[in-house]
Amino acid sequence: DTEVTQTPKHLVMGMTNKKSLKCEQHMGHRAMYWYKQKAKKPPELMFVYSYEKLSINESVPSRFSPECPNSSLLNLHLHALQPEDSALYLCASSQGLLNTEAFFGQGTRLTVV
């Protein structure tokens, strides 16, 4: 089983809203990632968690706040987003940080209005 589950699949939110994206994996992976992907562009790394600790933050604005409650769950809390934040948000997990492939979820299509 190489499944990473993301919810919701689609989200429309206003610029003053607070919402959360959720990601879950049951493969025993200890590294989890958030990526942002704009149309016809490659995924760009936002955050990396290793053993439930934030290990990489790629200078992401504070209106995006990640959280890793346990080894199977990863959340991305959203607040006061801008229309340019509209994108496909992808969660991924890997067994470890080094030399291992990452498996991606199907993504959350976020639209900020």
Partner 1 sequence: EDQVTQSPEALRLQEGESSSLNCSYTVSGLRGLFWYRQDPGKGPEFLFTLYSAGEEKEKERLKATLTKKESFLHITAPKPEDSATYLCAGRTGANNLFFGTGTRLTVIP
Contacting positions for partner 1 (CB under 8 A): 2, 4, 6, 31, 33, 41-45, 48, 55-56, 58, 88, 90, 92, 97-107, 109
Closest CB to partner 1 among residues 80, 97: 97
CA pair distance 40, 64, nearest whole angstrom: 22
Closest CB to partner 1 among residues 81, 87: 87
Is the Cα dihedral 33, 27, 23, 9 positive or negative?
positive
Preceding peptide of 8 cis, ω within 30° = yes
59: Cβ contacts below 8 Å, ≥ 6 apart: none
Closest CB to partner 1 among residues 7, 100: 100
**Closest approach of partner 1 to the CB of residue 58, in Å:** 8
**Closest approach of partner 1 to the CB of residue 52, in Å:** 16
